[in-house]
Amino acid sequence: MYEGDDAAGLARKQRAAEVGALEAVVNAMRAHAAATGVQKAACSALAKLCSGGDAAGLAREQRAAEAGALEAVVAAMRAHAADARVQEVACWALANVCAGDDAAGLARKQRAAEAGRGRRDARVRRCHGRAGGGV
């Protein structure tokens, strides 16, 4: 539905964001925090929806952050620490939501770092390095 970085794929991602897909994904993560499958699928969806380095892609990243995606992804990492696939797709989601070297991108990186403070903050920092910014 929202895959692809060609014009059609980017249009699908944008349309999905416009109708509330990012918020719905974050709400599903919160409502089903113990469901490993939901967390995997949700992190994957966030990563895909937030890919694309154009202005619309950066706006989707910001919208995801404003919906609480960073905190929801970190919560998934904590709740499913033993599941390698959750960790993998969560890192992918963090990297994509935190992409961007502008002030908003740097603020998203900082927000992810703050969400990851605690016992497992090293895992979030490793993911964060993939997003192009150290913490």
Q: Where are the domains of the chain?
A: 7-130
The string of pLDDT tens digits covering residues 84-117 is 999 999 999 999 999 999 999 999 999 999 998 8
Tokens of 67: 């919906």
How far apart, in whole angstroms, are the C-alpha atoms of residue 77 and residue 75?
Answer: 5
pLDDT number for residue 65: 97
Mean pLDDT of 121-126: 55
The answer to whether 93 and 43 have CB atoms below 8 angstroms apart is yes
Q: Please provide the distance, in angstroms rounded to a whole number, between the alpha carbons at the two ends of the chain.
A: 33
| C-alpha separations of 93 from 37, 118 in Å | 15, 20
Mean pLDDT of 40-60: 95
pTM, two decimals, is 0.85
Q: Lowest-confidence range among 32-46, 99-113, 115-129?
A: 115-129
121: exposed, middle or buried (C-beta count within 10 Å: 0-12, 13-18, 19+)?
middle
